[in-house]
Chains A and B, each alone.
Chain A
Amino acid sequence: MSAHTLPLAEGGCHINANCGFPAPGLNSFDFKPIFSIGSIDFTKPMLLAVICMLIVVGFFWTAFAKPKLIPGKLQLVGEIGYNFIARGIAREVIGKKGDKYIPFLMSIFFFVWIMNIMSIIPLAQFPATSRFAFPVALAALVWITYMFLTFKTHGLKGGVKNLVWLDGLPKPIAPLIVLLEFIQNVITRPFTLAVRLWANMFAGHMLIVMFSVAAWYLLTPSFMAAIAGGSFILSVAMTAFELLIQFLQAYIFTLLASIYISGALEEGH
């Protein structure tokens, strides 16, 4: 049993070697600490988060530190990214007032996207966002921003009204709607924001690991090799698919953040 619980396809465990399928599970998301300071363990996802931070900062530093009127290649790429967030999200969703929140949205998008992409980068091969803490940290920041802006724009009473009240609400169902609105805006929104990102990355990583492990497990000199090949092709296909999902989830996260900010800034509900 202990042999089966070895992480993934460590060693030469194949289907004919009289050993069970080492199904990937939650253990795929737990790492031995790289080093520990007292009781605090520094693990691979943390290292990846730091690396992602360095990549985002490094890229935009080289692109934007000394911007030129006629952009170089890197600056041009950076500008595409900037315009994507500034025009595609901030201006589109929030409007002119959204210009103030471009740095926030842009940091979220690129930090999340790069952390997601780590899923398919060789050696890294793990999306940091599939550790729940990272989406939670970012969703918490979005939630705090959302609440802060709501009360800053509308005051205490107006802010509460903005969160729970709908105009033209019929009296009899008012209490129910107020309750639902409160749950939706104050509790569900940050929770789903974090879970959506985490679950997508978690599942995506799990799929890739699953097919990769299966390909290795089934790779024996028998007809199983064909299935192993199929599994391998699937893992490649999943990797390509994940590339899309990673971008999409980062985009959705940023888009929802901007929608919440827009809702907080809106006059009336």
Chain B
Amino acid sequence: MMTFLASGGPQNPLIPEPTELIIGLLCFFIVFGVLGKKLLPNIQKTLEERRDAIEGGLERAEAAQAEATRTLEEYKAQLAEARHEAARITEQAREQGAMIIAEMREEAQRQREAIIAAGHAQIEAERRQVTVALRQEVGRLATDLAGRIVGESLEDAARQSRVVDRFLSDLEVKAEQTQGAAT
């Protein structure tokens, strides 16, 4: 042992050699520099991306499922509404149809009555016309007849007319009396 020390052999192992110290620091800084500046940020980014890809995938799947469920609900709601709407429209149409039919029926009734009334009026008018015409005709015929029978022509037209009218009125009264007696 003494010979080692004497011949400048091993030193105290607890005294760090400066060259080794410097080389150790240098090597460490190179490792630290390369890892810290380039490689670890690289892998951190990749790990983050991977986590994102996995969790993101799950999240996306969940979102898609929720979306699908919501769409289904929407469709169902829409379908129900459509059915309801259809029922409502049918009902309305039915009501409207009934109303139209009723209206048309009423209209027809009204028209028929109008036609009938018009017919009645026309008949009445015609009857009156005929009565007047008949009265004149009958008067003239009767006068003619009476003149011929009497052989004398009544000169006065007014008197003639009065006589005829009186005669006809008597006839009408007589007819009404007979009618009233009959009923």
Contact = CB atoms under 8 A, between A and B. Distances in A.
A134 B20 contact: yes
Interface in A31-63: 40-43, 45-46, 49-50, 52-53, 56-57, 60-61, 63
A218 B9 CA distance: 27
A238 B31 CA distance: 30
A106 B31 CA distance: 9
Nearest to B7: A5
A102 B9 contact: no
B45 to A, nearest CB: 8
Interface of A: 1-2, 5, 25-27, 29-30, 40-43, 45-46, 49-50, 52-53, 56-57, 60-61, 63-69, 75, 78-79, 82, 102-104, 106-108, 110-111, 128, 131-134, 136-138, 141, 195, 198, 202
B182 interface: no
B183 interface: no
A202 B14 CA distance: 11
Contact of B4 (A5, A60, A103): A5
Given A49-B23, A68-B46, A78-B43, A29 B13 contact: yes
10 contacts: A25-B1, A26-B4, A26-B10, A40-B19, A57-B35, A61-B34, A69-B50, A82-B43, A137-B21, A137-B28
B133 to A, nearest CB: 118
A65 B10 contact: no
A106 B28 CA distance: 11
A60 B21 CA distance: 24
Contacts of A110: 31
With most chain A CB atoms within 10 A of its CB, the pick from B10, B36, B43, B53 is B43
Interface residues of B, number: 37
Secondary structure at the B interface, as helix, strand, loop or mixed, is helix
- The 8 A-B residue pairs whose C-beta atoms are closest, nearest first, are A103-B36, A133-B20, A26-B10, A133-B16, A53-B27, A137-B24, A67-B46, A64-B39
B17 A133 contact: yes
Contacts of A69: 46, 49-50, 53
Nearest to A61: B39
B25 A137 contact: yes
B3 interface: yes
B35 A103 contact: yes
B42 A49 contact: no
Given A26-B4, A26-B13, A202-B13, A46 B23 contact: yes
A57 B34 contact: yes
Contact of A1 (B3, B14, B35, B40): B3
B86 interface: no
B9 A141 contact: no
A9 to B, nearest CB: 18
B39 A65 contact: yes
A202 B13 CA distance: 10
B32 to A, nearest CB: 4
B104 interface: no
With most chain A CB atoms within 10 A of its CB, the pick from B20, B38, B40 is B20
